[in-house]
Structure 1
Amino acid sequence: MAKGRRLSRAAGLEPDPYQLETLVKITVIGGSGLIGSKIVTRLRQKGHEVVAASPKSGVNTVTGEGLAEAVRGTSVVVDVANSPSFEEVAAMDFFERSGRNLLAAEMAAGTAHHVALSVVGTERLLAMGYFRAKLAQENLIKASGIPYTIVRSTQFFEFMAGIAQAGTVGEMAHLSPALFQPIASDDVADAMTDVTLGAPVNGTIEIAGPERAPIDELVGRFLAGTRDPRRVIADTHAGYFGIAVNDQSLTPGANPRIGATHFEDWLNRTLPQR
């Protein structure tokens, strides 16, 4: 089991002595996505007024459409929006334009806390343009002057199929044996909710799942669980979405905050036909 602080069942993280004492307005950018929709539900259950902002609701951070209205009167903005493309130019354009527009709107609105979801190992994965774009997003946040918390998460359990597909050649999935420590999206949402209701740390928090294991092993378990006939090959040259990785590339540093959901429990819950 990986070492670190375990997420509490109630709040998602260890108890924070600071919590928002009154009900406030919170805007979740990317509020209709996998993580965003879960955060919106959790915050509303706690009684907060929540704006689930996304292009579906008429809010576009890239063009600025609907943005001023979405953040007006907002105490906390949570940004979990993601680039629609992993291609470097498209991702950089998305995160830079979106970040500048969003932070400018927050500054004008007097937002007190900016919370953003990023990726564990971003600075170690810069061979891929997407991660250079994520680092640019983080740097914009740090330079904005708005109190902030960046939450860096490891890969989600829900993306195992995508990892397998990226390494598939014919009937075989060539996957790196490098270690990683994925996390359930529900645990990510719990963590983000708790951070949203806590004080800005003006720094970065890392979150990860409770198990650290080779990529080929966990993805192999996923394929077996889904009765996928592909054979998994541990290939040290396979990389991760085309970039070289080692045991430190995709794993958190010292003392991350640890999710409660084990991979096998998630698999059993997600795939009841097993």
Structure 2
Amino acid sequence: MKVVVIGGTGLIGSKLVGKLNEHGHEAVPAAPSTGVNTLTGEGLAEVLQGASAVVDVSNSPSYEDDAVMEFFRTSTANLLRAEADAGVTHHVALSIVGTERLPENGYFRAKLAQEELIKASGIPYSIVHATQFFEFVKGIADSATEGDTVRVPAAGIQPIYSDDVAAALGRTTVGTPVNGAVEVAGPEVFRFDEFIRKGLAPDNDPRTVVVDPHARYYGAELEETSLLPGPDANIAETRFTDWLAQQQ
């Protein structure tokens, strides 16, 4: 089957394209660098010709609240219209566990708006909610750093390897649309501070990691389970310590 991967040159998209092609599908990466721009609609009609499924793993170039909302609303609306014209029968989107629980977070609000557009489109769909990626650990630490201190919430986190996210997206894409959301998460739940300490340790990072119940995660205060998946989540195999070892 032909699958168009929007954002197909990025971290998840490139892995997904490779996995789908390995399994005999025709996976086509679509991004501004390949002549496809979902914000303007450029190249969408052409790339979607003959496609059975579309996977949207694109991301906003700006994380500023208004800009990220504009990106997901505009790009998703353009994409869904083009899919309807092309007769696409499965729309798959990557989103985040907990989108509906953190309205203070502008990025989560934008992803929730994207999900609502997908649900209202009439195109059969599947939304994959993933937890935070292993690869994000240093970026999360940097966002929470004040001087030499990393101030993190008193909450749980169940991170996942990006490769396992791509695999879950691939399985979902070639399956029957669920017309709902599925969750995927890593195999271990960490305390937030434990995850950050483990992620910074291999580089002998000198920053001190402390727990602050009022510390915000990208603008939002977290409850204990804000970022954790539900009991029916698909659990990936790769452990964080094994991934860290691979990076050395």
Superposition TM-score tier, normalisation by shorter sequence: over 0.9
Asked if 1:138 is matched to 2:138, the reply is no
Asked if 1:219 is matched to 2:196, the reply is yes
Q: Secondary structure at the match of 2:129?
A: strand
CA displacement, residues 36-80 of structure 1 (integer Å, 9 cap, x when unaligned): 000000011112112100011010000001011111110000000
Other-structure match for 1:91: 68
Report if aligned partners of 1:177, 1:217 keep a CA contact under 8 Å in 2. Answer: no
Other-structure match for 2:53: 76
Identical columns (%)? 57
Partner Cα distance (1:66, 1:104) in 2 = 13
TM-score, with structure 2 as normaliser: 0.98
CA displacement, residues 95-134 of structure 1 (integer Å, 9 cap, x when unaligned): 0100110000000000010000000000001111211111
Other-structure match for 2:214: 237
Runs of at least 5 residues in structure 2 that lack an aligned partner in the other structure: none
Runs of at least 5 residues in structure 1 that lack an aligned partner in the other structure: 1-23
Other-structure match for 2:140: 163
Other-structure match for 2:241: 264
Deviation at 1:177, TM superposition (A): 2.3
RMSD over aligned CA atoms reads 0.8
Report if aligned partners of 1:178, 1:214 keep a CA contact under 8 Å in 2. Answer: yes
- Number of residue pairs matched by the alignment: 248
CA displacement, residues 137-183 of structure 1 (integer Å, 9 cap, x when unaligned): 00000000000000000000000011100111111111112101110
Q: Secondary structure at the match of 2:46?
A: helix
Report if aligned partners of 2:145, 2:151 keep a CA contact under 8 Å in 1. Answer: yes
Other-structure match for 2:3: 26
Other-structure match for 2:153: 176
Asked if 1:197 is matched to 2:174, the reply is yes
Q: Secondary structure at the match of 2:200?
A: helix
TM-score, with structure 1 as normaliser: 0.89
CA displacement, residues 212-269 of structure 1 (integer Å, 9 cap, x when unaligned): 1111111111111221111111111212112100111100112100010011001111
- List, as ranges, runs of 4+ consecutive aligned residues in structure 1 with deviation greater than 4 Å: none
Q: Secondary structure at the match of 2:165?
A: helix
Question: Which one has a larger percent helix, Structure 1 or Structure 2?
Answer: 2
Q: How does 1:115-154 map to 2 (within 5 A)?
A: 115-154=92-131
